[in-house]
Amino acid sequence: MTQDWIERIPELGLLQETALREQCVAVFTDACRQGGWTPKELDAIPMTLGYPGAPSLRTHIRAVARLAHQTFMVFRELHTDTRLLPDYPLLLAGALLHDVGKLLEYTRTPDGDFTFSRQGLLLRHPFSGAMLAAAHGLPDAVTHIIAVHAREGDGSPRSVEARIVNKADLLHFESVRDLLAASSA
């Protein structure tokens, strides 16, 4: 199971902490089960229903995890003061799981399209994702990253790791949105 998920989302393999990695895998597995998806469908589910042509949820999760990873690498390379380093395992786990709640927020329409689920209309993915993470015993610092990564977290205190994930998420989300808009103009 874990190996299957690492093949699907290779950035899970960057997590050296076995227990944390297993918890992340358990959250992905449970989210698929609860949402009625197969893991393979992460390639079909769009990263957003907000604009057409968006990359898959799997691609977005990988992009945000990579951007968070690279941010840490820049800090580690340039900062000799170790106080100026975010917590890598928490940062990466939060980046990997930040949108896992979309597996509960979205559902298929009878004709195979994607739409918001009944639960998703009441609890957006930061809430459902945080609930999943808490249920699987993820550290509060990871649940926090999921909970505040989107607009619900604006105006709330964000940890450094949560701020990096928030910005990495927007960097990918808004860049893709604007590139698609520019290409169709």
Interface stretch with Fe ion, choices 24-32, 123-131, 132-140, 163-171 (CB under 5 A): 163-171
Of 1-9, 27-35, 106-114, 164-172, which segment contacts Fe ion by CB under 5 A? 164-172
Element (H, E) at 141: helix 140-148
**CB proximity list for 6: less than 8 A, separation 6 or greater:** 12, 13
169 contacts Fe ion (rule: CB under 5 A): yes
d(CA 52, CA 49): 7
Nearest Cα neighbor of 143 from 156, 167, 162 is 162
Q: Buried b / exposed e across 8-29, counting CB within 10 Å, b at 16+?
A: bbebbebbeeeebbbbbbbbbb
Q: Which stretch binds Fe ion (CB under 5 A): 6-14, 92-100, 114-122, 174-182?
A: 92-100
Closer to Fe ion by CB, 8 or 76: give it.
Answer: 8
Nearest Cα to 102, choosing from 137, 140, 55? 55
* Sequence letter at residue 171: L
Q: Which stretch binds Fe ion (CB under 5 A): 12-20, 22-30, 32-40, 94-102?
A: 94-102
Cβ at position 98, least distance to Fe ion in Å: 6
Complex with Fe ion: residue 11 or 99, whichever CB lies closer: 99
When binding is defined by CB under 5 A, the residue of 11, 99, 105, 161 that contacts Fe ion is 99
What is d(CA 67, CA 167) in angstroms, rounded to the nearest whole number? 9
Smallest separation, CB 37 to Fe ion (Å): 17
With 0-12 CB in 10 A as exposed, 13-18 as middle and 19+ as buried, what is 136? buried
Closer of 11 and 169 to Fe ion (Cβ):
169
Give whichever of 76 and 180 is closer to Fe ion, judged by the CB atom.
Answer: 180
**Residue number with CB closer to Fe ion (25 or 64):** 64
Binding mask 108-127 for Fe ion (x = CB under 5 A): --------------------
Give the interface with Fe ion as residue ranges (CB under 5 A).
99, 169
